[in-house]
Amino acid sequence: MKKFRKVLDGLTTSSPGGTIGSPSCGSAAGTPTAAPTPKEIDVQETLVSENFQLCKTVRHGFPYQPTALAFDPVQKILAIGSRSGGVRILGRPGVDCYCQHESGAAVLQLQFLINEGALVTACADDTLHLWNLRQRRPAVLHSLKFNRERITFCHLPFQSKWLYVGTERGNTHIVNIESFILSGYVIMWNKAIELSTKTHPGPVVHLSDSPKDEGKLLIGFESGTIVQWDLRAKKADFRIYYDEAIHSVSWHHEGKQFMCSHSDGSLTLWNLRNTTRPFQVTFPHGKIQKDGRKESCKPILKVEYKTSRSSEPFVIFSGGLSYDKAGRRPTLTIMHGKAITVLEMDYPIVEFMVLCETPYNNEVQEPYAVVVLLEKDLIVVDLTQSNFPVFENPYPMDIHESPVTCTAYFADCPPDIIPILYSIGAKHKKTGYSQKEWPISGGTWTLGSHTYPEIIITGHADGSIKFWDASAITLQMLYKLKTSKVFEKPKPGEGRAAELVEEDPFAVQMVSWCPQSRIFCVVGISAHIILYRFSKYDANTQIVSLEVRLQCESEDVISPSENENNPCFSEQGSHSPQPHHQHPASPGNRTPEGIKDSIPCLKVKDRVVRVPPGYQSELVIQLLWVDGEPPQQITSLDINSAYGLLAFGNCNGVAVVDYLQKTILLCMSTLDLYGAADPYQRLTRSPRRNRQSTSGLTELTDNQQSIDMERSKSPTSVKGPGRKLSLPTDLKTDLESRENSFSRSRSSSVSSIDRDTKEAVTTLQFGESYGRKSDALPTPCLWVGTSLGVVLLIPMSIPTDQEERMEEPVTIGPSGAVLMLKGSVLRFAFLDLVGALIQSPYEVWRDLNAPEDPDRPRRRKLVHFSPSSSQDACGDGHLAVVCSERQAKVFLMPSQSCLFVHNITESSFVLRADVVSVCNSVCLACFCANGHVMTLSLPSLRPLMDVNYLPLTDMRIARTFCFTNGGQALYLSSPTEIQRITYSQEMCDNLQEMLGELFTPIETPEAQNRGFLKGFFGGNAHTFDREELFGEAAAGKASRSLAQHIPGQGGVEGMKVAASGAVGELARARIALDERGQRLGELEERTALMMTSAETFSKHAHELMLKCKDKKWYQF
């Protein structure tokens, strides 16, 4: 524990404030006045670097760009591979694991070792990996890198340790999955086909063992050639040459026939009795045209042929539709007897898999569900009901239903908020789902002891808001809110909204939520703000609209305009848009020159609307067009329920709205806020530039281009026009202009600013503070931070009585203190003089739509946190923490002395900063554009952690990264997935307890029609010893140059885990038996060799004896 003391006795505010171990800075403006200063600040900081460690916790959402699918029918867990090398393993709700291949190569195929707690992945870099799933964080045990051939298909028979690997050259190799070493047994393509064949058969697209005889391997080549290879005799049983390319093959469980899907949209059924031609050819979606020809169809990419005891077989396939119907959605077809059901999908089908009751391929399959992996969704269809309903998906797979444009994360919420949101959201759930339980039910998960209520809020491009329960590292949607319902629908291709933003006029840019008062505020991209209150009752309401003209004229700097330079106050009764502001949404409402003026971007519904329980809109604030210029996007927002005030700013200025009285209190340019305290000397600006572009603003495609962070622009510094939520393309010139203005503005105490620079309001914070140095007691203040590193304090006078508050106006005084930092200001926070965080005051929630109780009238109940609550003496002041893109400072208020300063970064800039509570203390957490996540102690700003975690590759991460209390943070790792991380050592230590178990010991179901001993030892009706054929003794060693074995990092630990427990003991016993059998086999071979050698010696000795029998001694 380190103690910091700062003696301030005798210091004056005009002299620079001293710091501990860092340069000092004084107040940037103001005159020396006597201010209450404590004799001594005594802050005992408890946080040390050992309290911090950065690690990923859990990933939510749909796997981005999925490529492969696998299912373990005994463990009942599902695996999904992705193009970026990720593997998501899903079981029952709560069992959700993410693994990542270090190479980042796309996953081509997944194969579970059924009921063994292991998974084989085949990647696009021609490497096989064996993952151990018997630990909560799966690890790679072995890898095998193919050097000369490309992997195209893998097949692992049930209860076999030999993996068949087909390649692009048409060869089939065999891998021992225990040692991950290639067998010397190879099926070469030229041996598989007839010697008379003149063309190469193409890559291997299918491998499977015959259900009737495991010693027969069916090999499908892309060109249409199919070969059944006798593994014992090392020759082909039969060869089929079909003139259509093959995409997949599926056996009938009896092993007497199989079905193929082809590139012309046909299905062929082959009988092993006669392989000269197909037993049956069908075009399920190909109709006969008038001229008698079949219409051409798209390829059937996959078919599965599954039998059932109680009904006809199921034939399920994807694709095969006719080409003539353009624009048809992707389909999955289920043929059951004579009935054909076509299920249309919202997205292209990547892969599907039929779930069956038995893991044995030679038993009646009894299919009960189909898992369909789409490009952007996961669907499970119930096959046990004739209408084939889908199961309700328990995983949060629809985060990306509309692209995510912003996020907010709240840990340690009031405990009653989650059940209330869930109960209201449950009323709007879809119906028609299957009544059966979700079939992917493997693994175990229990609620950990270190859980507390957590909520994640996501804002989306279509204007929707989703509230998610994120407690105990799970994610479940609670409630959905559609902000677009507040507005009239814009007519397509015309109107103000269409001209301003064609794609997503309602896109959510920012949210502000007070869990205690349940007031919710949304900032939209069309320069609009919507204020919501929460109610458990439905109501009829008319939405109040306020229109704000917040536009800074170019000439204002040197020739102040009479209208623009003064605060624009609205009339007290402005409860609806002024009549002269009302314009229907049509392009005809312009000046004769066609210039728009004083109209908003969207039209608010002006009629009484019925609103359901939940969040109900109370007020809409819209910025107006000015002289043909669309309003600039809103860059900052804060709302305070205790004050009843809402403040917002953009690159033109700041506005304060009284949402209780529905009036505009302040609407002023940033320049006017300074008054006489402007620290800069402004230069003449050139005339206004061209109209800003109206390009799309929610471009969320995952562009993987690398962005040089030295050239990138801070998202909080808004310079000039620009409406995209993502970075502009001209990053270099933009940063250079920022850097030039930055260096000029810091060159002297009175600096000049270049003519193009607009000073945006980048952050706002209401709180009890000291607006001036002479203040003895704290009063309500608004802290304003700008893109030029200036901090302004605006004191306010708010009536305390409830009746007066609703009638008397709130008065805003002239600007108070002016403080300075390097870079754009990002965050404010307030500490008392013992280092504890001072919460913003709030109003306790009350339901305005609840029936009136005459005995208990509804009154506002406010909760205030005084800065001096932890001190004996009143008026001692508080500490203000200010963080910018470049540095953090701690000021003592009201003296405005800078106590501590820390330059966070010189080469990069901070994207996100939050003051958060960790381990019963507080710290400043920062995320930089160069990927560093760091924490600083408060108030001394000592570096506690600095980890180079995540290089910023696109603006999605910058826009969605946020910290919260308890040492947690999140960001959108892809357009469809939320990645949660922790920077708390305590949570890292408890993470194993919170994660689910993927593997649970389950006895493998016994095969039917087998004896007890055969079933116990896994023998088949046709005994087939693969070890005898593929082992080194029989097949020899494979060429070393063909593949390279790479030991996995989780090898030793994984083997220890795998060897524990009852199943592990059985596995060890099996391995020991195998080893003993192998040793006995080797001993037998050596004995046979000795016997052969002895026989040879005896033969030679006999021959020598016969030769020398009649010779005399002297003839030798």
Judged by phi (left if over 0) then psi (alpha if -120 to 50, else beta), residue 126 lies in: left
How many angstroms separate the CA atoms of 270 and 250, rounded?
Answer: 10
Nearest CA-CA partner of 980 in 967, 989, 992? 967
How many angstroms separate the CA atoms of 346 and 1083, rounded?
Answer: 62
How many angstroms separate the CA atoms of 91 and 1030, rounded?
Answer: 35
| Sign of the CA dihedral with 428 first, then 430, 436, and 437 last | negative
DSSP secondary structure string, 242-273? -SS-EEEEEE-TTSSEEEEEETTS-EEEEETT
Residue type, 412: D
| Sign of the CA dihedral with 748 first, then 749, 751, and 757 last | positive
Length of the chain: 1116
Looking at residue 472, what is its pLDDT?
A: 84
pLDDT tens-digit series, residues 931-974: 999 999 999 999 999 999 987 677 888 889 999 999 999 999 99
β-pair partners for 639: 646
pLDDT tens-digit series, residues 826-869: 999 999 988 899 998 999 998 888 887 766 666 788 887 755 44
**894 upstream amide cis, omega within 30 of 0:** yes
392-397 long-range Cβ contacts below 8 angstroms, 24+ apart: 392/433, 392/434, 392/438, 393/438, 394/93, 394/438, 395/90, 395/93, 395/96, 396/60, 396/61, 396/468, 396/475, 396/476, 396/477, 397/61, 397/62
CA distance readout (Å), 250 to 5, 277, 497: 77, 17, 54
Question: Are 379 and 399 in contact, with CB atoms under 8 Å apart?
Answer: no
Helices assigned H by DSSP within 940-1050:
955-960, 985-994, 1012-1016, 1026-1030, 1032-1035
Residue type, 1018: G
pLDDT tens-digit series, residues 692-724: 433 333 444 444 433 333 333 333 333 333 333
Question: Are 919 and 47 in contact, with CB atoms under 8 Å apart?
Answer: yes
681 — pLDDT class (breaks 50, 70, 90): low
Residue type, 594: G
How many angstroms separate the CA atoms of 372 and 80, rounded?
Answer: 11
How many angstroms separate the CA atoms of 815 and 164, rounded?
Answer: 76
Q: Which two structure tokens, joined as six digits, stand for 193?
A: 């086909």
How many angstroms separate the CA atoms of 833 and 796, rounded?
Answer: 23
Looking at residue 1076, what is its pLDDT?
A: 65
Average pLDDT, the chain: 80
pLDDT(998) > 80: yes
How many angstroms separate the CA atoms of 621 and 645, rounded?
Answer: 13
Tell me if residue 355 falls in helix, strand or coil.
Answer: strand
Residue type, 957: I
Burial 211-234 (b: 16+ CB within 10 A, else e): bbbbbbbbbbbbbbbbbbbebeee
Nearest CA-CA partner of 185 in 232, 223, 146, 147? 232
How many angstroms separate the CA atoms of 276 and 286, rounded?
Answer: 24
How many angstroms separate the CA atoms of 883 and 60, rounded?
Answer: 30
CA distance readout (Å), 223 to 249, 251, 262, 412, 564: 13, 19, 10, 60, 75
Looking at residue 493, what is its pLDDT?
A: 54
pLDDT(360) > 50: yes
886 — pLDDT class (breaks 50, 70, 90): very high
Nearest CA-CA partner of 925 in 399, 406, 409, 404? 409
Looking at residue 850, what is its pLDDT?
A: 83
| Burial grade of 345 (CB within 10 A; 0-12, 13-18, 19 or more) | middle
In angstroms, how far is CA 692 from the centroid of its own chain?
32
Q: Which helix (H) or strand (E) holds 1099?
A: helix 1061-1108
β-pair partners for 467: 457, 479
Q: What is the mean pLDDT of residues 904-926?
A: 94
**Placement of tokens 């109370």 in the chain:** 618
Q: Which two structure tokens, joined as six digits, stand for 122?
A: 């085949």
Question: Are 744 and 751 in contact, with CB atoms under 8 Å apart?
Answer: yes
Query: In this structure, what are the phi and psi dihedrals at residue 509, rounded to the nearest 5 degrees?
Result: -105, -30
Higher pLDDT, 351 or 579: 351
pLDDT tens-digit series, residues 166-203: 999 999 999 999 989 999 999 999 888 887 777 899 99
Higher pLDDT, 978 or 323: 978
Question: Lowest mean pLDDT: which of 311-320, 345-354, 738-747, 1034-1043?
Answer: 738-747
Helix axes 1061-1108, 1051-1058, angle to 10 degrees: 100
How many angstroms separate the CA atoms of 359 and 114, rounded?
Answer: 8
How many angstroms separate the CA atoms of 48 and 525, rounded?
Answer: 41
How many angstroms separate the CA atoms of 471 and 966, rounded?
Answer: 12
How many angstroms separate the CA atoms of 11 and 999, rounded?
Answer: 66
Contacts of 633 (CB under 8 A, 6+ apart): 509, 525, 527, 650, 718, 722, 723
pLDDT(811) > 60: yes
β-pair partners for 143: 129, 1046
For residue 619, the number of C-alpha atoms closer than 13 Å in the C-beta half-sphere is 23
| Percent with pLDDT over 90 in the chain | 54
**728 upstream amide cis, omega within 30 of 0:** no
pLDDT tens-digit series, residues 536-557: 999 999 999 999 998 765 444 3
Nearest CA-CA partner of 398 in 60, 699, 83? 60
Cα first-last separation, the chain: 101
Query: In this structure, what are the phi and psi dihedrals at residue 1092, rounded to the nearest 5 degrees?
Result: -60, -45
Question: Are 888 and 902 in contact, with CB atoms under 8 Å apart?
Answer: yes
Question: Are 405 and 507 in contact, with CB atoms under 8 Å apart?
Answer: yes
The winner for highest mean pLDDT among 864-873, 921-930, 1039-1048 is 921-930
pLDDT tens-digit series, residues 118-143: 999 999 999 999 999 999 899 999 99
How many angstroms separate the CA atoms of 142 and 627, rounded?
Answer: 67
pLDDT(613) > 80: yes
Helices assigned H by DSSP within 668-766:
670-674, 731-745
